[in-house]
Amino acid sequence: MFIDEARIRVYAGGGGNGCMAFRREKFVPRGGPSGGDGGRGGDIVMESSERHNTLVHFRFNPEYKAQRGRHGEGSNCTGKEGEGIVLKVPVGTIVYDDNTGEVVHDFSSSDDRIVIARGGRGGRGNQHFATPTHQAPREHELGRPGEERMLRLELKLLADVGLVGYPNVGKSTLISRISAARPKIADYAFTTLQPNLGVVTIGELPDEESYVVADIPGLIEGAHEGHGLGIQFLRHIERTRLLVHMVDVSDASGRPDPVNDFEVIMGELASFGAGLEDKPMMVVGAKSDVANPEKLAKLKKYCEKRGYPFMQISAVTGDNINKLKYSVGAVVRQMRSGSYEGPRPLPKPRAKELPVKPRAKKKAVAKKAAAKKPANQQKSASKRVAQSRRSQTARPKAGRKKATAAKPKKKLSLKQRARR
């Protein structure tokens, strides 16, 4: 079973407690304090090993706890230190802190060791608290607890070359022809359910060279949305130096356009977000023994236009297999030495911009000018506009008088009427 991701919890050992004791011996009056210190707790150590190639041993045993230190004893005896635990991981494993997401360590080479959880310090015995004025101390320290961490392990295979393409285009057949790997091969899609590694050897002794090829499960359109087997396996080709993109140029695939197949896979590589689409790439037209001449010519013309090296092969008949092995080996050799100057893909042409209407141009210019103004000027201008609007609303219009309500007339009595 191939497991490339696991979560584990580690507990480092706690320190032992310090001892409170006094020396009681014949002919030694007032022997004084003799409490020893507690032992240190065990550490959790992680080490990379080439004997492991999967994280399956962490999937079913997710908790690891180191031994705690022994308590201190009398006669100034220090407690025994706790035994630590060494966890073996495959080369290429990245350790993350599951709570913060921070990278703890990247095991990119063999026999790399790191302490991922430190044991607690042992407490001090009462012998350390004796002073000229406090000669019989009864104070002692407790041991410190060890570190406790929740970790996430992610395995990224280390390979020089990665094979990508649609399902059933011949990736597994190719790696079985150029290396000693024996992956499952069948005439249906998604035969490969886990990555396969193969070591390719070229040349003869003493000038023999080798490189590692990784075969990952096939991609389909919409894999970044979860279609097919998804794109989680693409993490295994993040560290590759070269990608070999295999395209089926026969009629057995049922897809009419090989260029569209190529662009779909490139879109899925771009959606993964690790810069896979920018890696040096070699395009291989697979199944050339039953190739459609029109498809082959169209794909070859597209690769020449875009700047991709192209080669047609047949893994069944062995056509151009050795040529492909040595071509890939030459590129890997140059990239290892840092002298690679091979062709790199050209950027995609941008779509032509539509003409902008004059009104839209004015609005765009005004927006750019407003954006270039400093924030203080924009705030002062907005304040001025608000003040002018307030003054306009508060100021009465000329030529109009405020309407006043008519006062009600008082009623006169009969005497007041007679006086008038």
Integer Cα distance of 253 and 268 in angstroms: 19
**160 Cβ partners below 8 Å, 6+ apart?**
211, 212, 213, 240, 241, 242, 332
Q: What are phi and psi of 108, to 5 degrees?
A: -95, 0
What is the tens place of the pLDDT at every residue in 251-265?
888 888 999 999 999
Tracing tokens 């690790």 back to the chain, one arrives at 274
Q: How confident is the model at residue 8 (pLDDT cuts 50, 70, 90)?
A: very high
Task: Tell me what the mean pLDDT of segment 27-49 comes to.
Answer: 91
Question: Which one, of 6, 113, 112, 111, lies nearest residue 64 by Cα?
Answer: 6
Strands 242-248 and 281-286: parallel
Segment 217-236, tens digit of pLDDT: 888 888 877 777 777 788 88
User: Averaged over 35-42, what is the pLDDT?
Assistant: 94
Burial of 337 by CB count in 10 Å (0-12 exposed, 13-18 middle, 19+ buried)? Answer: exposed
The beta-strand segments (E) located in 279-398 are 281-286, 310-312
Radius of gyration for the alpha carbons in the chain, expressed in angstroms and rounded: 39
Angle between helices 171-178 and 321-337 (to 10 degrees): 80
Q: pTM of the full predicted structure? A: 0.66
Domains of the chain: 1-155 (2.70.210.12), 161-337 (3.40.50.300)
